[in-house]
Structure 1
Amino acid sequence: MPFRDDRIQIQLSPKEEIVFKRSFFTFVALLVVLSLALAACQPKPTEAPTQPPAQQEPTKAPEQPTATTAPEQPAAPAFEGMKVEAPNCDYGGELKSIEAVDAQTVKFTLCYPDPAFPSKVAFNVFAIVDSEYLAQVGGDSIKMSDAPVGTGPFKLKSWVRGDSITFEANPDYWGEKPKYQTLIFRWSEQSAQRLLELQSGQVDGIDNPAPEDFATIEADSNLQLIPRDPLNIFYIGFNVDLAPFNNEKVRQAFAMAIDRKKIVDNYYPEGSEVATVFVPPALKPGWSDANPWYEYNPEMAKQLLTEAGFDFNQEVKLSFRNVVRGYLPTPDKVAQEIQAQLAEIGVKVKLNQMESAAFIDSTAAGNEAFYLLGWGADYPDATNFYDYHFANDNNKQFGTLFPDIVEPIRKAAQISDPAERQKLYDEVNAKLKEHVPMIPVAHGASAVAFTASVKNAMTGPLSNEPFFIMDPGKDTLVWMQNGEPAAIYCPDETDGEALRACQQIFETLLLFKPGTAEAGPGLAESYTVNGDATEYVFTLRKGVKFHNGADLDANDVVASFKAQWDAKDPNHKGRTGTFEYFGAFFGAFLNAE
């Protein structure tokens, strides 16, 4: 076909035309690819993509609001750790400072070495409470008892005074949760009633069955008897400041007039021992036979009383409570026996049976001149016996302390070497025998009893029954003990009935392993101690909650200890304000007047 003269006219054969078209299309394809490559190198289009490539600055003004440009949320406030510190150690106590290093770390710095410190902080009067709630109730044990806030496996549901206490399982417990929903505490002073209710199935477990009932329980296939080791002491106490016991010869005479073996043989179960010193034989250093107690000698006792000018016409009052304890299984019968033995040397004794809490408060205040009392171990060390009773400014029961007893006791507490400690305790025992602030009588074997259907039933040498791991095979476990607690918040309590109730609700930095006197992890999962045992650092568990939903942190630990240690702390109230255990374990209060 001809072209106009301004065009080049090319005539192609059919085959050439096909080749040409193929080349042309190839050329066009290359142009498209090249265009795309060039486009990728060009500046970004004005419409910014939804997510620009990293480090690519926008080419157009103002960005549209995105999640990355939203206002930042305020950061959680930094943890402000509490610290309480004595200006120096001249105030007379063991603690130098307690510091919340961070939210999960607490450091205790001591004025002198204390190898027993871990066991001390495992005792449940040193339970950790929510610091805010503690401030709300002002450290008042009675207010706290109405609505206690702890971290333990049970929470308080109700306390019907004079009747029972009902606990319910804590669903948010950090440890092994109870296998049943409800734990009920009841009480009776009468061992016969406790056994009858156990046999009839009204209760699932009882404390301290009478010695004469041990064989009956063991012979009953529906019941189980679980013995306790005799880690205790029963003693006859004197206030050395109150007449007629302000005369040392009178006290020595009474010591010779008491037939301790007769008391143990007639009123204690098998496995009990006559006491020769104040601590049980299992605690060594502490116990030894270097200074055994006076032999029974009524004739010498009467002679000493005569030399002392004792008035045989007077009537002396012997106070006691009729509450069964492992160290004293039959209080009323033993009181009558002592009354009869003293009558043999011409001493007239009037028995004064008191209500349990009133008796404890009165002896602690130093108001009883002559009384029956005892002690079960809180932790397995002689300091728990000697220091609490004879080197404790807060314990008034024996009257004025004896410096020649206090000094070796306090020295022994700061020494790790067993042989050196024992030398000092031998001095202590010799001086106790000389001054006679008490008469050691017995180390009593005791037991608990449960129905056979209760699995994992157990007790321990510290009377710390782990109810939360028991399995009654039903929704409720009912326990019957010897008396009603005075409170269910225990920094200011010494009575075993209260301590057992507190143990269900409150927990300590370390906890005694079930059925033992061995301290292991508790609210603290671990701790470290320096070489001379003057600095203990505890690491708290994470995720532990109080019953009110508050999270456990290190400030709760500092506040809980400060409420006992610092006499001017607004939470230093308790029930009586005595805080005997703190004084016994850690010496003087901070800021005491």
Structure 2
Amino acid sequence: MKANKFFLVLAVLMVASLVLAACQPAATPTPQQPPAQQPTTPPEQPPAEQPTTPPQAGFEPMVYGVETCDNYNGIIKEIAALDELTVRFTLCVPDPAFESKAAFSAFAIQPKEWIEAAMANKQILEKPIGTGPYVLDSWKRGDSIIFKRFDDYWGEKAKTQTLVFRWASEGAARLLELQSGTVDGIDNPSPDDFEVIRSDPNLQLIEREALNIFYLGMTNTFEPFDKLEVRQAIAMGIDRQRIVDNFYPAGSSVASHFTPCSIPNGCVGEDWYEFNPEKARELLAKAGFPNGFQTKIYYRDVFRGYLPEPGLVATDIQAQLKQNLNIDAEIVVMESGAFIDESTSGRLNGFYLLGWGADYPHITNFLDFHFGRANPQFGKPFPEIYELLEQGARIADPEEATPIYEQANNKIKELVPMVPIAHGGSGVAYRADVVGGHASPLGNEYFAVMDPGGRSTFVWMQNAEPISLYCGDETDGESLRACEQVLESLLAYEVGGTQVKPALATECTPNNDLTEYTCKLRPNVKFHDGSAFDANDVVMSWVVAWDYKHPLHIGNTGAFEYFSYLWGLMNAPAEE
């Protein structure tokens, strides 16, 4: 899922620092006094760090932060509005990839006043107010979402007056809609249909490279997955090549490591275990299960680039577990939102089929999110892994970080938190007359630049319905793609690429040691409700996700997973 210029992008992207110290934070704001109303400034601010531009009349700049980075498990120390168009992020540790992360749609900006009015009753989940090229018109649950062009957009206006999102779980159904002309573009056509699309003069296929991972998850807080020999046996007892050969399109590959090899340091260290059912059975017997055991396989019936045929793959894994290891696994299909919530919270007792597509093209996006100290997904996190990741995340030079990631990858192999199976090739298909169609390596196609042959409406069909449109607290690609048409972050990625460019901020300038980023905001930007964009909107949008005890730290599930794993949470409960 990479653009052709991916390697040029990687040369300029810096290493993400996802360092999470292992203690309870002490935050300046008090839970009884909502920070949105009366922000608290950490004491003893040095004069050089005070606002350089006096705020305009009526503007009271918000400042949020912790007094000290000691006994605190996050990266961010302070977020401060210096004036109406300047925000400063002060960090506890260097973060070379701050800009790459800040461009991600999970950190989009909405009006401070709207967050205060709409978060508590969760109205914000289905009515985002952003600054993007489209504004939400209506959402008919189970059917479609309709967006309208935002004529006061600060940048280049959308090519079409109306954008419609629809969805269908079956690849064949999406292709039929495209062939009949009822939609203009579809995501993830089935592997068997790639050649059909290529040979049809009325259609165009744009392939994504495999910047993703599909894995077989387990949770080590449940028996028998708490036993290392059991997890290692499963790692050796699955014929991963068979799965790729039978269910994946050209451009896919068996995963030698969790991270795709095109990402620096992704594939340093030892390759994954070879298929060896005899050795796997020996390990099971050593662990006390010579006759296997009973368990379940959970999945959601949603076609993804990393998992194009979830039902067929689940059935194949079920058969392999029985044939190779005498493990009897019942297949359980779950609703998409419930599956994501239960699996990523570490509450599924059994195997589960899940994957990941790159949000920003760096190894920390893959390893730190999944194996960091704060993530309960695979059960109790392994310090042998996350302590190495925390070291690597501080290093800007990928070559200097290589020895650390070699050790980390080897520990992931040794401890088997999950089984990496495939990097899945995928694609996007459009009608032949669509101009500006593209396949984003990050899965965030941007429809404002697409012209559907002069028609006033562009209809897009994806794999599933969004869970919500408050993407600060969502992780599924279907929700994120919809959010990205309406909402914007401080920075953005190039259309169809991975390089960071200005968005709501014209620049975010670091200090010499990369512990402070000062972002200059774009002037004269309006939200969809007509209100003016300013620095307090930025602070509020970030703070409700960052501060675990903020009265508006609500979201959809309340997990705020991206913020938690990529930045750390202020006032988070002490680790058990």
Amino acid at match of 1:240: N
Q: CA RMSD in A?
A: 1.4
Which of 507, 511, 517 is residue 492 of structure 2 equivalent to?
Answer: 511
How far is the alpha carbon of 1:315 from its aligned partner?
A: 2.0
Superposed CA deviations along residues 467-519 of structure 1, whole A, max 9, x for unmatched, are: 00100121111111001111011111011111111111110000111000111
Residue 521 in structure 1 maps to residue 502 in structure 2: yes
**Which of 384, 391, 395 is 1:404 aligned to?**
384
Residue number in structure 1 paired with 2:128: 148
Q: For residue 148 of structure 2, what is the amino acid of its counterpart?
A: E
Give the drift of 1:78. Answer: 4.6
Distance in structure 2 (CA, Å) of the matches to 1:176 and 1:281 = 36
Is this contact kept in 2: 1:100–1:555, CA < 8 A?
yes
- The answer to whether the aligner puts 1:195 opposite 2:200 as a matched pair is no
- CA distance in structure 2 between the aligned counterparts of 1:349 and 1:360, rounded to whole angstroms: 20
1:322 is aligned, of 301, 314, 318, to 301
After superposing the two structures, state which structure 1 stretch, 414-423 or 569-578, moved more.
414-423
Match in the other structure for 1:555: 536
Is residue 2:447 matched to residue 1:467? Answer: yes
| Counterpart secondary structure, 1:527 | strand
Partner in structure 2 of residue 334 of structure 1? 313
Contact 2:253 / 2:423 at 8 angstroms: preserved in 1? yes
Change (3 A) 1:557 1:392: farther
Q: Which residue of the partner structure matches residue 271 of structure 2?
A: 292
State how far apart, in whole Å, the 2-side matches of 1:152 and 1:423 are.
Answer: 42
Q: Could you list the per-position Cα deviations for residues 445-469 of structure 1 after superposition, in whole angstroms to 9, with x for gaps in the alignment?
A: 1000000111111121101101001
State the partner residue of 1:252.
232
Q: 2:489–2:504: 8 Å Cα contact kept in structure 1?
A: yes
Contact kept? 2:230, 2:283, Cα under 8 Å: yes
Partners of 2:187 and 2:423 in 1: how far apart? 17
- In structure 2, distance between residues paired with 1:123 and 1:171: 24
Q: What does residue range 300-319 of structure 1 map to in structure 2 within 5 Å? A: 300-310=279-289, 312=291, 314-319=293-298
- 3-state SS in 2 of match to 1:504: coil
Q: Distance in 2 between matches of 1:401 and 1:502?
A: 31
Q: How many angstroms does 1:422 deviate by?
A: 1.4
3-state SS of 1:177 partner: coil
**Shift of residue 139 of structure 1?**
5.5
Q: Taking structure 1 as reference, are residues 591 and 319 closer, same or farther at Cα in structure 2, changes over 3 Å only? A: closer
Q: Pick from 389, 393, 396 the counterpart of residue 416 of structure 1.
A: 396
Displacement of 1:430 in angstroms is: 1.0
Q: Take 2:564 and 2:127, find their aligned partners in 1: how far apart are those partners?
A: 27
Q: Which amino acid aligns with 1:304?
A: L
> What is the deviation of 1:346?
1.3
Amino acid corresponding to residue 114 of structure 1 in structure 2: D
Correspondence for 1:386 = 367
8 A Cα contact 1:387 1:584, kept in partner: yes
Q: Is the 8 A contact 1:378 1:462 kept in 2?
A: yes
Specify the alignment match of 1:237 in structure 2: 217
Contact 2:125–2:556 (CA under 8 A) maintained in structure 1: no
SS in 1 for 2:451: coil
Alignment of 1:111-150 (within 5 A): 111-138=92-119, 142-150=122-130
CA–CA separation in structure 1 for the residues paired with 2:253 and 2:395: 29
1:98 aligns with 2:65: no
Does the 8 Å CA contact 2:126/2:470 hold for their aligned counterparts?
no
The question of 1:426 aligning with 2:417 is answered no
Within the candidate set 37, 46, 62, 1:82 is matched to 62
* Alignment match of 2:345 (pick from 356, 361, 365): 365
How far apart, in 2, do the equivalents of 1:496 and 1:133 lie? Answer: 24
Alignment of structure 1 residues 207-218 onto 2, 5 Å: 207-218=187-198
After TM superposition, give the deviation of residue 313 of structure 1 in Å.
6.3
**Residue 152 of structure 1: how far off its partner (Å):** 0.7
Whether the aligned pair in 1 keeps the contact of 2:257 and 2:272 (CA below 8 Å) is yes
User: What is the CA–CA distance in structure 1 between the aligned matches of 2:120 and 2:291, rounded to whole Å?
Assistant: 48
Q: In the comparison of the two structures, how many residue pairs are matched? A: 516
Does structure 2 conserve the Cα–Cα contact (< 8 Å) formed by 1:566 and 1:592?
A: no
**Residue pair 1:568, 1:592 contacting (<8 A) in 2 also:** no
Q: Which amino acid aligns with 2:262?
A: A
CA distance in 1, matches of 2:291, 2:476: 35
Map of 2:418 onto structure 1:
438
Native 8 Å contact 1:392 1:583 kept in 2? no
Q: Between Structure 1 and Structure 2, whose CA radius of gyration is higher?
A: 1
Deviation at 1:105, TM superposition (A): 0.5
User: Gaps spanning 5+ residues in structure 2: where?
Assistant: 1-54
- 1:160 matches 2:137: no
The answer to whether the 8 A contact 2:99-2:508 is kept is no
Partner in structure 2 of residue 41 of structure 1: none
Aligned mate of 2:163, from 183, 196, 206 = 183
Give the Å deviation of 1:337.
1.1
Bigger shift: residues 457-466 or 75-84: 75-84
> By how many angstroms is 1:410 displaced?
0.8
Alignment of 1:480-495 (within 5 A): 480-495=461-476
Contact 1:392 1:587 in 2 (8 A): no
Note closer, same or farther for the CA distance 1:392–1:188 as it changes in structure 2 (3 Å cut): farther
- The Cα shift of 1:587 comes to 2.2
Question: 2:538 is matched by which residue type in structure 1?
Answer: V
Shift of 1:529: 0.9
**Paired letter, 2:75:** E
Instruction: Return the TM-score normalized by structure 2.
Output: 0.88
Q: Given residue 551 of structure 2, which amino acid in structure 1 is its aligned partner?
A: P
| Kept after mapping to 1: 8 A contact 2:186/2:429 | yes
**What is the match of residue 5 of structure 1?**
none
Pair 424,588 (structure 1): closer, same or farther in 2 beyond 3 Å: farther
CA distance in 2, matches of 1:186, 1:588: 35
CA–CA distance in structure 2, aligned partners of residues 242 and 145 of structure 1: 33
Residue type at the aligned position of 2:402:
Q
Letter in 1 for 2:358: A
**SS state of the match for residue 520, structure 1?**
strand
Distance across 2 between alignment mates of 1:200 and 1:298? 47
- Asked whether the equivalents of residues 225 and 448 of structure 1 are also in contact (C-alpha less than 8 Å), the reply is yes
Deviations 1:65-117 (A, max 9, x none): xxxxxxxxxx9725321110111112110001111111111110110011111
- After TM superposition, the score normalised by the length of structure 1 is 0.85
**Corresponding residue of 2:19:** none
* C-alpha distance in structure 1 between counterparts of 2:573 and 2:544, whole Å: 13
Between the aligned partners of 1:105 and 1:571, the Cα distance in structure 2 is 24
Query: Pick from 408, 411, 430: which aligns with 1:450?
Result: 430
**Contact 1:272 1:444 (C-alpha < 8 Å) held by counterparts:** yes
Structure 1's consecutive aligned runs of 4 or more residues displaced over 6 angstroms after TM superposition are none
Report if the CA contact (8 A) 1:84-1:562 is conserved.
yes
Classify 1:269/1:76 alpha carbon distance in 2 versus 1 (closer, same or farther; 3 Å): closer
Deviation of the 1:233 alpha carbon:
0.5
CA distance in 2, matches of 1:209, 1:164: 19
The equivalent residue for 2:459 is 478
Distance of 1:583 and 1:362 partners within structure 2: 17
SS in structure 2 of the partner of residue 505 of structure 1: coil
- Residues 328 and 444 in structure 1, CA contact (< 8 A), matched pair in contact too: yes
1:433, distance to aligned residue in structure 2 (A):
1.1
In the other structure, the counterpart of 1:585 is 566
Q: For the Cα contact (< 8 Å) 1:81–1:101, is it kept in 2?
A: yes
How far the C-alpha of 1:220 sits from its partner, in A, is 0.3
Q: How does 1:526-537 map to 2 (within 5 A)?
A: 526-537=507-518
Name the residue aligned to 2:251: 271
Q: Which runs of 5+ in 1 are unaligned?
A: 1-74
Task: Please list the CA deviations of residues 168-200 of structure 1 after superposition, one character each: whole Å capped at 9, or x if unmatched.
Answer: 111111111111111111111110000000000
State the AA in 2 paired with 1:360: I
CA contact (8 A) 2:281 2:290 kept: no
Q: 1:545 to 1:306 in 2, by over 3 A?
A: same
